Amino acid sequence: MLSGQNVYTLLKTAENFLKSNGLSNSKSDAEVLLSFVLQIKRSSLPLLRDKKPTDKQISQYKDYVLKRSKREPAAYITGFAGFMGLEFKVDKNVLIPRPETELLVELALKIADEKDKKFVLDLCTGSGCIAVSMANLGKFEYLVASDISVNALAIAKENAQINNAFSIKFIESDIFEKITDNKFDMIVSNPPYITESEYAALDPDLKFEPKNALTAQDEGLFFYKKIASNTLKYLNDSGYILIELNSNKVRDIRQIFVDNKYVDIEIINDYSGLPRILKAQRP
């Protein structure tokens, strides 16, 4: 399919092949995979359009393109994903960091800076993208990141090392079960929140990601209820909770936090206009 071609024709062939297999981001996928094979920045591809990759590189690229055509996410194929300008290792034990979650980090950094919040807990940390990004981009005295998955925590620890975020304390914990530290100024979380019916209708790409990091019991509300009912015990006075939302359950989620006596509850939309983050404060 791809032998004997230069970078430009290689990309075009791969793009058309992926498009014919129903991938809407075929151009982006083709570029991401080829830049990884060539070990160059994606932005450098136009400068090398006439370069002919080696047979080994072409063979590897063909393998990657075939995997992507079967809907395996490009991030799992390359083993890396970008988030907040940083690079994160990912595999099938963790969710792939998404641009929408960057909004949570940006908001947390803004609050921390304006309100002088120095102690942060990241629940359900997964790849560690939230905690590691905050450690890199903010000024915190203490950062704790927890997850129930040992495999996810291993990836998160690697990502902390890759990005020189050595100040984070990682804890294996089922939500608050083993959180015994002092109270925090801010608790952030992107918990599992997809219902079983929503999961059944997901894009095939998402079925490669760990189901236990996506789905939640109680019609997707399990973690919201567990977190809301316990977070007040772990927040300092005037502390904040920032949590990513299931946009289909916003009214229910907001009511959960109302019922648990949080104040100044605010729903923040993402760049597509969908409700993405709930921000609330300890009374």
CB proximity list for 245: less than 8 A, separation 6 or greater: 193, 253, 267, 275, 276, 277, 278
Residue 112 within a domain: yes
Handedness of CA 57, 60, 64, 70 (dihedral sign): positive
Question: Token pair for residue 172?
Answer: 């294996």
79 domain residue, yes or no: no
One domain, residues 155 and 56: no
32 in the same domain as 146? no
Q: What is the CATH number of the domain that holds 50?
A: 1.10.8
In a domain? residue 76: no
Q: Is the pTM of this model over 0.85?
A: yes
Taking only the tens place, the pLDDT of each residue in 89-133 is 999 999 999 999 999 999 999 999 999 999 999 999 999 999 999
d(CA 233, CA 240) in angstroms, rounded, equals 12
CATH number of residue 233's parent domain? 3.40.50.150
Helices (H), 5-164: 7-20, 26-38, 55-69, 74-78, 99-115, 129-137, 150-162
Give the range of the structural domain holding residue 126, as residue numbers without chain letter: 89-281
pLDDT at 283: 85
| Other beta carbons less than 10 A from residue 9's beta carbon | 14
Q: Which of 90, 89, 99, 97 is nearest to 122 (CA)?
A: 97
Q: β-strands 184-189, 168-172: how paired? A: unpaired
* Contact in structure between 37 and 60 (CB atoms under 8 Å): yes
Handedness of CA 194, 179, 127, 186 (dihedral sign): positive
Q: Would residue 191 count as lying in a domain?
A: yes
Q: For residue 75, tell me if it sits in a domain.
A: no
Residue 80 falls inside a structural domain: no
- Residue where one domain finishes, among candidates 40, 70, 100: 70
pLDDT in tens, 39-75: 999 999 999 999 999 999 999 999 999 999 999 999 9
Phi/psi at 157 (nearest 5 deg)? Answer: -65, -40
Q: 84 lies in a domain?
A: no
